[in-house]
Amino acid sequence: MPPPPGQPDQPLRALVFDSKYDSYRGVIIYIRVMEGTIATGDMVKFMRDGGQHEVLQLGQFRPTMTVCDQLGPGQVGYLVTRIKELGGVRVGETVTGASQTADEPLPGYQEPQQMVFCGMYPTQATDFETLREELQN
């Protein structure tokens, strides 16, 4: 996959693609930087909900989580702020700089829809054909 065409001198735009909760650090946000740069100590803003937070820790996956000082266009990493609940971060959110904000969020990402998977299996192997016929009706 080629890196995004963004430049490091543009306003920060990073895509939140996942997050997890750590009992010591709070929410760890997984991001991919599309434009601009992000560094430890920066103030960032979530474009859709407007929340502003300080970047306490920044890192990359190498393959373990390794602390770094800065991420630029095309890099994937994580950031830690003072967010204490997973509900405070949404997948698909665009992270931008608080002082130099981007004009619009990243396009093309839709919020995930909740789904329930249901698997049905017969208890006897001989009942498989009967189950298939019933499901087709």
Residue 51: what are its φ and ψ, rounded to 5°? -70, 140
Place of tokens 């095309």: 74
- Helical residues (DSSP H) of 23-101, grouped into ranges: none
- How far is Cα 122 from Cα 132, in angstroms, rounded to an integer? 10
Query: Could you tell me the pTM of the whole model?
Result: 0.77
- Helical residues (DSSP H) of the chain, grouped into ranges: 128-136
Mean pLDDT score across all residues of the chain: 88
- In 10 A of CB 82, how many CB atoms? 11
In order of their start, the domains of the chain are 13-97 (2.40.30.10)
The confidence score (pLDDT) of residue 14 equals: 93
The confidence score (pLDDT) of residue 2 equals: 72
Measured in Å, how far apart are the chain's first and last C-alpha atoms? 44
